Amino acid sequence: MATSDPTKRVALYLRVSTDEQTTANQRRELEEVATRAGWVIANVYEDAGISGAKGRFGRPAFNQMLKDATAREFDMIAAWAVDRLGRSLQDLVHFLDDLHSLGIDLYLHQQRLDTSTPSGRALFQMLGVFAEFERSMISERVKAGLARTTKKLGRPSGRPHKRAKEVLQLRNQGRSIREIARTLRMGVNSVHKIINVKRDHLAEMP
């Protein structure tokens, strides 16, 4: 049940997966909720004909909404159902963690979830624990991967970890091998070797 708060600024997020569908019903129901609760609708973000499987940058309105959330242009995000926000559990946890850190509340109409209530806040706190666990696991994997890469390279350099990390970071930014070699003043073959060892490591991961 939505809590009444006439000072709360809410952003509505609407999404449908195909052009044959419409967001009209989602919008009408969420506007009715906002009216009953006395919320002020600050903005409406709509991704029409876009799959929820796409990440943040594959959904322009969703991406803009998160930018505006960072700018604190509203106090709450309201969506018709949790699957409107995305289809990936990992992406959803990241999204909820971002909202929690920004102090932005979330209302999900179909699930009757309102994080401005005590029970909703408890859910946010629990999701924060899962997000922290995931960050720790990712950090451990990255450290293990760099150590494995350095061991396979067998470089005599005094700072092998930093050099491998720099190469991989530039590669993730879309830089070509020659650009990386030129930027770091390394040989092209050395850059190739670092990237290939990293690729082999990922292929071996379960």
Active site residues: 17
> b/e map of 101-139 (b: 16 or more CB within 10 Å)?
eeebbbbbbeeebbbbeeebeebbeebeeebeeeeeeee
CA nearest neighbour of 102 among 71, 133, 125: 71
The answer on pLDDT for 34 being more than 60 is yes
Q: What is the pLDDT of residues 164-175, one digit of tens each?
A: 888 888 877 778
Reported as type and span, the H/E element at residue 127 is helix 118-153
3-state helix, strand, coil in the chain (%, to 5): 60, 15, 30
pTM for this entry? 0.59
**Contact (CB, 8 A) for 80 and 49:** no
> pLDDT tens digit string along 65-106?
999 999 999 999 999 988 898 877 777 877 887 888 898 999
CA 78, CA 135: separation in Å to the nearest integer?
26
For residues 183-191, give the mean pLDDT: 84
For the chain, the average pLDDT equals 79
Give the closest residue to 10 by CA, choosing from 95, 102, 104.
Answer: 104
Q: Residue 172's pLDDT is what?
A: 79
Mean pLDDT of 153-179: 69
Q: Write down the pLDDT at residue 205.
A: 42
Residue 11 pLDDT: 98
Rg (CA), the chain: 22
Residue scoring higher pLDDT (80 or 20): 80
Tell whether the model's pLDDT for residue 107 goes beyond 90. Answer: yes
